Structure 1
Amino acid sequence: MKLRMNHRAANPAGFQALLKLEEASKKMGLDPVLYELIKIRASQLNGCSFCLDMHLTDLRSMGESAQRLDLISVWRETPLYTEKERAVLALTEAVTLISENGVPQHLYEATLQYFSEAEFVSILMAINAINCWNRIAIATGMFPGCFES
């Protein structure tokens, strides 16, 4: 595989702008595990190997079990995730695939059982940030290790 382009070098201002969005969303107070679950699930749905590898590594370094990491893509079929995590994963899927069904009212209401409106917006910011990163990574041909040389 070959990296199509290094977007960081090609447009440093664009990279810095997205980095600021990422930093802001990370500082909005979400639990770090929930934050990484968002990043992983969106990256799975989008098919972004670079981001998926990065965020699995991050969650692994936080001490997450291999079983929970392995089963994120089938979270509905296992009792390994809390109801709060399930709400976040469902919202992540809906927002990532928003053109399919939007964000149904029942999902909005289910999420607000566990999160305030401010936290809901924090979750949305994290989902949007990773979707942006995924699209840049995929479009520029990024893959795990592509910047190592």
Structure 2
Amino acid sequence: MKKFGYKQSNSDHTLFLKKERGRITCLIIYIDDMIITGNNEEEISDLKKKLFMEFEMEDLGNLKYFLGFDVLRSRRGIFMNQKKYILDFLAKTGMLKCKPAQTLIVANHGLQTVQDGELADKEQYQKLVGKLIHLSHTRPDIS
């Protein structure tokens, strides 16, 4: 990206910016997905051509879903939500019918260790915790 005149952000190393004549073009990359946006249509088109020459890739058009966010457009603007991400998470954990609660666990529950109890699936647990961490970063109201 540097050879195309883009500068890497110090706060997010997956974000690259190019500013010219009061216009800006942004590229953000996450593993094998990327978003290109900005107010410089000519630069966006040029960047896409350069990237297509360097990499095997496909232009999926307007952004619809990225990292758990649904992106919706209307005359009033662009709206983002995580409804699908959260519903998929609740379905995977068997909690689709759960109700909101003020606390995460009943006070004075009296948790106990069960001898010879069945261990939880470590990988499944790590995936679920990762999804919760993602939600806590993107939804501070529920963190």
TM-score strictly above 0.5: no
Structure with greater strand share of residues? 2
TM-score (norm 2): 0.25
TM-score (norm 1): 0.25
Structure with greater helix share of residues? 1
- Give the number of the structure whose alpha-carbon radius of gyration is greater: 2
Work out which structure has the larger RCO, using CA pairs closer than 8 Å and 6 or more positions apart in sequence.
1
